[in-house]
Structure 1
Amino acid sequence: MTLTVLFAAGDAEFAEYLAPLTEAFTQYGLQIDLVTKAMPEAVEYIIYSPASTLRDFTPYTRCKAVLNLWAGVEKIVGNPTLTQPLARMVDPALTRGMVEYVCGHVLRYHLGMDAHITAAPGTWVPQEPPLAPERVVGILGMGELGRACATALAGLGFAVEGWSSQPKQVADVTCHHGREGFDTLLQRAEILVTLLPLTPQTENILDARAFALMPKGAHIINPGRGALIEDDALLAALDDGQIAAATLDVFRIEPLPADHLFWGHPHVTITPHIAATTRAKSASLVVANNIARVESGAELLYQVDTARGY
């Protein structure tokens, strides 16, 4: 039986994904009619990204699942017309990319590399950095990406502490939860990595109060969601030295507007949303596997809890 799969993720993405998806469907023994346009009542699966113009899911009465190509689902999960099961993207390659980004920037701050890179000629001021076990790295968000980054950093010897809204257990990581645990982690984290999903509860979670709780001279790395941070509060904390520096990969508006104060700030590093990009070849295998599972009667992997928003 041939399944009709609507690719609702933009024309550029379709050109990128056509060959990898075709190969992945074949690998999983699926006969797929992959289309960018179809009568809604004929569509059995939708491959989706926020670049799509699809907003009304009501007509897709036969659709068994919507498969998101991004790890984040905040731009679709609140859609009231979405009654079909929604799967977020959990891809080993995406996770690997995030781990490499986070470990790279944690090590950069830990070793004080910025001072060495920007030192004036003739500057020779040796400073011995602490060893990794003497440095507390905090991870906000202990989902798939947070756990992977925490485990990798613990493997490098860092004293890693994580926070999530619900209790979690991760080997070699001190885990906190709830409001009290949130404050405890902030008070200890010399380098803080934000990997929370964006929900009404997490928006602006890093505000003036949060920055004031952190050790003076702490560092922020945000490859999670731009709106987790209150921009003005971060700028104020950077200007008064409470926060020494921040590396930001995500923003409320992307691309980041040219007149934003983050640009040109001496203590802000901007990267263009590159920490965890979805790679077509590996993501196609995740999508094909999930469709094959549903067709065989197994449960959909990585299904989003719409009530929680992730």
Structure 2
Amino acid sequence: MILVHTPSPKEVSAYLELFQAAMPEQAFVSLEQATPDEVRYLIAWGLPDGIIARLPRLQAMFALGAGVDKLLSRQDLPVNLPLYRLLDSGMANQMTEYIRYGVLGYQRNMDVYRRQQATGQWRMLAPQLPEDVRVGILGLGEIGSAVAKALARDGYPVSGWSRGPKHIHHVHSLHGEAGLEKLLETSDVIASVLPSTPQTQGLLNGARLSLMQPGSMLINAGRGDLLDQDALLALLNNGHIRCAQLDVFAEEPLPHGHPLWHHPSVTITPHVAAITLRQQAVEQIVGNLRKLAAGLQAEGRVERAQGY
């Protein structure tokens, strides 16, 4: 028996139908239908506290998302329970679109024109070409690498930063503290797709944000705890950072009345840069379930020490 759960009953119903069609030899059930001691696998997002402890024969858990920081912080997650995350499931293309939108807007001065519109100014700015805009990607995993490759194909000079060295065609790879500083100092647009880990929390603090090029742009589509929001606001207010496009925040939803909501240089989206697509997620998880049934190694197993 395989238990499927999300906070939305409607979504659970849709997932159950897709999983059952893709793997008819297995029984996929909701929380209400489950017999706890018969559940072997758990597929979930937004799981209530205490559920895992009620599943004595659980062999593995599959997350319906790429980020697993909230799952890893749970007190009821057994340390020896294999946890698998989604590697893409359609999210790489969405993330590429989201970051490409921000980079192109920066290149074409759309943020400046929005501010001019608000004050009734009619002033044309000098055009820029893609090769004039240096893009730095924070995070070169499955999704970050796809974003970096796509922007390089668009003609932007692309560099990327990761925990260790990477080798990606047409992408300049940097790593370590020195590499991070160089990326910040030499990019016109910084775009983060980093997960939340003990190593990334607070990574973009005031000191590091101050290393960014004067007049540069920040895009954060990874996790909100990466960024010091107060430091970003200060650098936006003094003009050091020209604009920001933010999809994730330290507290979500972003509290009503927070100064980021009304800042003229900030674009806010409600954690929609890359949303799990059901059919692709089902195909990936079913593929992993079949591998496990055949005694093979499944993809996307989380290394808990790394946080992803």
TM-score when scaled to structure 2? 0.93
Deviations 1:81-105 (A, max 9, x none): 3221111112341211111111111
Shift, 1:286, TM fit: 1.3
Rounded to whole Å, the distance in 2 between the matches of 1:7 and 1:252 is 28
Rounded to whole Å, the distance in 2 between the matches of 1:257 and 1:21 is 36
Residue correspondence of structure 1 range 186-225 to structure 2 within 5 A: 186-225=184-223
2:141 equivalent to 1:116: no
Q: Would you say the 8 A contact 1:67–1:88 is kept in 2?
A: yes
Equivalent residues, number: 303
Rounded to whole Å, the distance in 1 between the matches of 2:125 and 2:13 is 51
- 1:240 counterpart letter in structure 2: N
Q: 1:99 aligns with which of 96, 104, 116?
A: 96
What SS does the corresponding residue of 1:253 show, helix, strand or coil?
Answer: coil
What SS does the corresponding residue of 1:181 show, helix, strand or coil?
Answer: helix
Cα RMSD (Å) of the superposition?
Answer: 1.8
2:57 equivalent to 1:89: no
What SS does the corresponding residue of 2:173 show, helix, strand or coil?
Answer: strand
What SS does the corresponding residue of 1:206 show, helix, strand or coil?
Answer: coil
Shift, 1:123, TM fit: 5.0
Shift, 1:55, TM fit: 4.1
Shift, 1:16, TM fit: 3.1
Deviates most, 182-191 or 17-26: 17-26
Change (3 A) 1:295 1:13: same
Q: Would you say the 8 A contact 1:193–1:221 is kept in 2?
A: yes
Q: 2:256 aligns with which of 247, 255, 258?
A: 258
- 2:19 counterpart letter in structure 1: L
Q: 1:66 aligns with which of 61, 72, 83?
A: 61
2:33 equivalent to 1:35: no
Q: 2:273 aligns with which of 272, 275, 282?
A: 275
Deviations 1:93-142 (A, max 9, x none): 12111111111111111111233355449855332332212211000111
Shift, 1:148, TM fit: 0.7
Q: 1:298 aligns with which of 273, 296, 299?
A: 296
2:43 equivalent to 1:47: yes
Deviations 1:54-99 (A, max 9, x none): 4453443422210000110000123353221111112341211111
Q: Would you say the 8 A contact 1:8–1:48 is kept in 2?
A: yes
Q: Would you say the 8 A contact 1:78–1:309 is kept in 2?
A: no
Deviates most, 107-116 or 232-241: 107-116
Rounded to whole Å, the distance in 2 between the matches of 1:206 and 1:12 is 38
Identity %: 37
What SS does the corresponding residue of 1:100 show, helix, strand or coil?
Answer: helix
What SS does the corresponding residue of 1:163 show, helix, strand or coil?
Answer: strand
Deviates most, 117-126 or 199-208: 117-126
Change (3 A) 1:122 1:216: closer
Q: Would you say the 8 A contact 1:211–1:242 is kept in 2?
A: no
Deviations 1:236-279 (A, max 9, x none): 11111111111100112211111211111111110111110011
Rounded to whole Å, the distance in 2 between the matches of 1:161 and 1:209 is 21
Q: Would you say the 8 A contact 1:8–1:53 is kept in 2?
A: no
Rounded to whole Å, the distance in 1 between the matches of 2:197 and 2:116 is 41
Q: Would you say the 8 A contact 2:65–2:276 is kept in 1?
A: yes
Shift, 1:215, TM fit: 0.7
Shift, 1:13, TM fit: 2.6
Runs of 5+ unmatched residues, structure 2:
none
Rounded to whole Å, the distance in 2 between the matches of 1:31 and 1:23 is 10
What SS does the corresponding residue of 2:70 show, helix, strand or coil?
Answer: coil
2:70 equivalent to 1:75: yes
Rounded to whole Å, the distance in 2 between the matches of 1:213 and 1:272 is 27
Rounded to whole Å, the distance in 1 between the matches of 2:4 and 2:71 is 15
